[in-house]
């Protein structure tokens, strides 16, 4: 899957989460945090897509999320989460875990930290965007009623 395909997924709005390997403790904590918010995402009608770097993960996965395995390094580079670092003289590739709120093929916001506060902000942003069209329709109806 390439960057364009990730931005043009059917659901609008949606959350796109990038995780490294689910066998790392910190990454498991991020995954568990998203799992704890599952009911909120379902109630709000917000789909979560999780891009995992490691294909061989045997961890129990949440059936309410859609998992995308192993995208090209180009995708990680396009989303600015792919870095080359020199560690003890060896060049290594580092993948940051972060998530995005995407609406109509545009990134509304990138969240570089994964915690309760950013989850709340992302969910409210997605809900606001999802309800934006309905709010405009309601406002037009109210304006029409005021003219009568």
DSSP 18-52: EES-TTSHHHHHHHHHHHHTHHHHHHHT-EEEEEE
Closest CA to 49 of 93, 86, 90, 12: 12
The runs of H, that is alpha helices, within the chain are 3-7, 25-36, 38-44, 73-78, 116-147
Which two three-digit tokens encode residue 69?
Answer: 């395995």
Looking at per-residue pLDDT, the higher value among 112 and 10 belongs to 112
Confidence grade of residue 132 (pLDDT, cut at 50, 70, 90): confident
Q: What is the pLDDT of residues 27-82, one digit of tens each?
A: 889 989 999 999 999 998 899 998 887 656 556 688 899 888 767 777 877 888 87
Backbone dihedral region for residue 45 (phi beyond 0: left; psi -120 to 50: alpha; all else: beta): left
Closest CA to 125 of 106, 138, 141: 106
Measured CA to CA, the distance from residue 82 to residue 18 in angstroms comes to 11
Q: How many CA atoms lie within 13 A of 134 on its CB side?
A: 5
């Amino acid at each position: 899957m390439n960057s364009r395909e990730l931005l043009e997924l059917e659901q609008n709005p949606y959350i796109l989460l990038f995780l490294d390997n689910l066998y790392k403790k910190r990454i498991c904590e991020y995954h568990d945090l998203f799992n704890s918010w599952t009911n909120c995402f379902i109630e709000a009608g917000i789909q979560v897509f999780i891009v995992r770097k490691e294909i061989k993960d045997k961890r129990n996965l949440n059936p309410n999320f859609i998992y995308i395995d192993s995208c090209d390094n180009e995708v990680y580079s396009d989303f600015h989460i792919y870095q080359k670092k020199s560690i003890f003289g060896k060049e290594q590739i580092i993948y940051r875990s972060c998530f995005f709120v995407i609406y109509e093929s545009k990134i509304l916001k990138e969240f570089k930290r994964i915690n309760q506060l950013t989850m709340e902000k992302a969910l409210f942003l997605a809900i606001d965007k999802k309800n934006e069209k309905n709010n405009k329709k309601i406002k037009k109806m109210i304006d029409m009623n005021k003219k009568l």
